[in-house]
Chains A and B, each alone.
Chain A
Amino acid sequence: MAPEQKPDHEEEHFKPRGTVLIMVLFFFTIVALWGYVYLIMVSQGANTP
């Protein structure tokens, strides 16, 4: 028996909310960790080669 085909309009309106949430969390995690290390580097002051 062939699997039931979903109508096209259902696929068009599919919203990957879980994936978007994971990607947003990933985005802010990367930005927060990168920014934390960057601020440590800046707080340690200048040096020259």
Chain B
Amino acid sequence: MTTPPSQTPEPSVHIDPYERGWIIAAIVMLVVFALAVAVASYSLGIQLPSPEARVDPNTISSTGPFANPGLRELAPGRYEAYILAIGQGWYFNPREITVPAGSEVTFYITSPDVQHGFKLEGTNVNMMIVPGQVSSLTRRFDEPGEYNWVCHEYCGTGHAAMYGTLIVTP
């Protein structure tokens, strides 16, 4: 004997009030975090580095702009910095660059050998340096001072010696 359709109980999911409260709190937290990231990205202009170009790691040191790495002035107050992260001697080439305050610097960095990192202290310039790929970020430097950069991807026994300095003059 079957139950008449009119008497079939409605399917329901029982959620404990405490569990429901925690689910709501977790969702609210994730939404707030996502909104904060969106504000930082679209309103405050904090962006992730982009892969600028693909290059051949075997020829990068002898052809193109990385054959003569360093600072290039595009216009007053606008610079490009081509930097090679070299794991076979554990150093950045160049190790030091100098720009006047108020300059906008675009960093182009790659490696001919192994994976490295590039973190400019006190800023959000923070990139992974992958052989075969040019990483790029642009930042404006208004405050004079010395900004040290370090390799933050372990790249071998001389990893700790991989550092450099950006000097912003008044």
CA distance A48 to B136 in the complex (A): 9
Question: Which residue of A23, A30, A47, A48 is within 8 Å of B123 (Cβ)?
Answer: A47
- The reply to whether the CB of B49 lies closer than 8 angstroms to some CB of chain A is yes
B contact face: mostly helix, strand, loop, or mixed: mixed
> Does B54 reach chain A (CB closer than 8 Å)?
no
B44 neighbours in A (Cβ, 8 Å): 42, 46
A2 on interface, CB distance cutoff 8 Å: no
A16 contacts chain B at the CB level, 8 A cutoff: yes
Residue of A nearest to B22 (CB): A23
Contacts of B139 in A (CB 8 A): 45-48
Given A16-B18, A27-B25, also A48-B122 (CB < 8 A): no
Show the binding face of A for B, using Cβ within 8 Å: 16, 19-20, 23, 27, 30-31, 34, 38, 41-42, 44-49
Binding site for A on B (CB under 8 A): 18, 22, 25, 29, 33, 36, 40, 44-50, 122-125, 136-140
